[in-house]
Amino acid sequence: MSTLKLLSWNVNGIRAIEKKGFSDWLDKEKPDIVALQETKIDAVQLTREVREKRHYKSFFSHAEKKGYSGVAIYTRIEPKNVTEGLGIERFDREGRVLAADYGDFLLFNIYFPNGKASPERLQYKLDFYAAFYDKARELMSHGKKLIVTGDFNTAHRPIDLARPKENENVSGFLPNEREWLDKYIDAGFEDTFRVFNSQPQNYTWWHLVTNARARNVGWRIDYFLASQSLNKKLHNATIEPHVIGSDHCPVSLFLKL
């Protein structure tokens, strides 16, 4: 039985994180699979330095809008196939989804929308949650084992942010956003970090302008959700706040396969 190491990180710009030592971090951590969100790069900007990493094959999904959104997967293990999007044009034009089929599980790397900009963007976010929920339910009904990782842009419960009371009316902790995470759990997903750690003050995002990271005034909005059918395979899940370079930090999942 081998241990599979998966990492996920909203890098807030892959070219920026490359200049801050991303390749060195990758060489040090040696994950089997790493999923990145908010890469902010298009096909024209995708240099060989970014695309080619020793021992890894890479896959990218780009937004139509330059310098916006985007996701990537670097993998040591050859997936059976990799697909982009949810099959819904209004979502897929923002380059938010990559799905890699590894046989034992289907990995979704998703950069869920942020709803803070306007009521329209909040509705877009909720519609995106609903669209992925339907897709996940369908796949699971056909026996697929799913791992869903990325920036969900929502703190699920009061334990998942430093100041829940002050943020009750802020997108990212609204009741109707949090209800979607409840629905994912009720549909058969496990919040893998909470399987291994029930402690507060574990966050994955901190506001840059207010220097919130130094005071650990943060939010846990980056997750690995896994089908409950994978429960016996779960070995560990962590948050890596010591890794600097983005306003988010990496999260991990270890599987015994």
Residue-wise pLDDT tens digits, 130-169: 999 999 999 999 999 999 999 999 999 999 999 999 999 9
Using DSSP's 3-state secondary structure scheme, residue 133 falls into helix
Q: What is the dihedral of CA 25, 26, 28, 31, to 10 degrees?
A: 130
For the domain that residue 171 is a member of, what is the CATH number?
3.60.10.10
Longest Cα–Cα distance of the chain, Å, equals 49
Yes or no: say if 113 and 107 are a contact pair by the CB < 8 Å rule: no
Q: Please pick, among 24, 101, 134, 151, the residue that the annotation labels catalytic.
A: 151
On the question of pLDDT at 209 being above 90, the answer is no
Residue 43: band (very low, low, confident or very high) from pLDDT cuts 50, 70, 90: confident
- Look at the chain and report how many structural domains it folds into: 1
- What backbone torsions phi and psi does residue 186 show, to the nearest 5 degrees? -65, -25
| Measured distance CA(195)–CA(88) in Å, rounded | 33
Question: In the chain, how many H helices and how many E strands?
Answer: 7, 14
Taking the model in full, what pTM does it have?
0.97
Please give the C-alpha separations between residue 185 and each of 50, 133, 178, 182, 204, in angstroms, as whole numbers: 35, 11, 11, 5, 20
Host domain of residue 82: 3-256
| Average pLDDT of the residues in 204-228 | 96
The per-residue pLDDT for 87 is 97
32 given a catalytic annotation? no
* 1 pLDDT tier (thresholds 50, 70, 90): confident
Distance of CA 165 to the CA centre of its chain: 25
Is pLDDT at 203 greater than 90 in this prediction?
yes
Tokens 């310098």 locate to 67
Statement: residue 257 has pLDDT above 90 = no
